[in-house]
Amino acid sequence: MARIVKYVFLDILRTRFILLYTAFLLISTIALFQLDSDSSKVVMSLLNIVLMVVPLISIVFATIHFYNSYEFIELMLAQPVKRNVIFISEYAAVAVSLCAAFVVGVGIPMLVYGAGASGVTLLFCGIVLTLVFTSLAFLASVVTRDKAKAIGIALLFWFYFSLIYDGLLLWIVYTFSDYPLEKITLSLIALNPVDLARIIMLLQLDISALMGYTGAFYKDFLGSNLGAIASAGILLVWIAAPLAWAQRIFSKKDL
């Protein structure tokens, strides 16, 4: 498995996309720190990149890479290697390369400029969202043999979790605003990894006071040890569930 991961990882580096992605994050982060010396404001600006750009790049790149590696996957399947090993190796190589690019591009400037605990939380959210959307990309890739259709499904995943779901959530909140919706809203947020990462980050920046009673409720739950463990557990489920589903489809699929 390690040899397959190494080969796929080196193949990804040869495309130079990861290097460009790293450079983009590095330049953007340094530029934001140069424009504003307040690390909290910089982290807030980077939060938009983490919530929108990072998931988009992760899901599109992972989907395209999977289809570009089809010949290699078919070659490996002709060898005495288990399908699950090949699939997990592909996922591990893609996920590690994207996470490494994010950590280098965002983490190094934060370390240099001293972003503190909020910077660490932002890195955690970025890494988790990268893993989640890479899992969703592999799920979209194994569902269909058509590359264009798979990219369309992947973009639909991103569009739904990043834009559509928030609109539906706001509609529910405004429609039933006369009722106590704090616990229901918290449950609905757990169904979207992007929203969950956003709430965790806003609580770390102590902006929950601007969210009124609802923000206080989120801070009481998600700010506690139990809330932190529950949030981490939900995000791990968002990583593992699509990947396990995709692996099951891949193991039975006729290539």
Cβ neighbours of residue 198 closer than 8 Å, sequence gap 6 or more: 47, 51
State how many domains the chain has.
1
Do 240 and 132 form a contact (C-beta atoms < 8 A)? no
CA 60 to CA 56: how far, in whole Å? Answer: 6
The residue-averaged pLDDT of 203-220 equals: 54
The residue with tokens 């190589």 is: 93
Range of the domain at 27: 2-252
Report pLDDT digits (tens) over 119-172. Answer: 888 899 999 999 999 999 999 999 888 888 999 999 999 999 988 887 787 777
- Give burial (CB, 10 Å; 0-12/13-18/19+) of 155: middle
- DSSP letter at 181 equals -
Residue 241 has pLDDT above 70, yes or no: yes
User: Within a 10 A sphere around the Cβ of 208, how many other Cβ atoms?
Assistant: 20
Question: Could you tell me the two tokens for 228?
Answer: 């932190």
What pTM does this model have? 0.88
